[in-house]
Amino acid sequence: MLITSLQNQYIKQLVRLKQKKNRDEDQLFIIEGYHLVEEAMLAGIVDRLILRIGTKYQNPFNDVIYVSDEVMKKLTSTVSLVDIAALCHYVEPKKKLGDHIVMLDDLQDPGNVGTIIRTALSFGYHDVILSNNSVDIYNEKLIRSSQGAIFKANIFHDRLLPLINSLKQQDYTIYGTSLKNGIGLSKIKQKAKTVLIFGNEGQGINDEILASTDTNIFIEISDFESLNVAVAAGICLYKLRVDDLD
């Protein structure tokens, strides 16, 4: 199929997926670029490939449409023109959680969240749970910054406090990240079942969440009071990486 008009009804349906409410309604989202498409293909979530006219794609796929440069620019969000995009369906989260979990309390920056998801996966944390007030998982900037990690990790939104209380009953150790009554990260050891919580870029973790933790930790630094949350998450996740169990 070849589509060259911006007035095409199907293209209009795809363009509307740039808004969260429409993504949620249709349970669909668009990704762009070879790397993300390859990762999504491996995850089995691609419904249709969208190729710019003249683009050759080596991997066979049954459902492909070709579009003009003008249409591709309308569908995608990066400044430079891309050759390939894909229509994907939402990933169904897994109900059963692993032993190492990251929680994100009201994080708003999609770049930070995507980076944290990518880092968490790299250090053995396959479950990332966002509070209901956190950024949309399928925000295009979040997807790009995750470099496809969102297709491999188990990610969903939920109410954190009830979930924390439930996990404590299952012998998880709950670590918050805060200077309040905190212990230096260098003194913390990995546990068999761990939850690591990071808070909002400006306000940190909500007080009621902090009150529910077993231990609050902070990164010992000099000259500055705090670090970017994605940087701090990287340091904590490396220190408490899964292959460093007692």
Return residue ranges of the chain for CATH 3.40.1280.10.
100-244
pLDDT at 141 over 80: yes
Q: Summarize pLDDT for 150-172 with one digit per residue, the tens.
A: 999 999 999 999 999 999 999 99
- Under CATH, to which class is 100-244 assigned? alpha beta
Strand order in the sheet with 46-52: 2-3, 64-67, 46-52, 84-89, 28-32
Q: Summarize pLDDT for 80-139 with one digit per residue, the tens.
A: 899 999 999 999 999 899 999 999 999 999 999 999 999 999 999 999 999 999 999 999
Identify the pLDDT of residue 11. Answer: 97
Lowest-confidence region among 138-142, 148-152, 226-230? 226-230
Strand bridging mode 173-177 / 194-199: parallel
Of 3.30.1330.30, 3.30.565.10, 3.40.640.10, 1.20.1050.10, which CATH number belongs to 2-89? 3.30.1330.30
Name the band, by pLDDT with cuts 50, 70 and 90, for residue 244: low
Return residue ranges of the chain for CATH 3.30.1330.30.
2-89
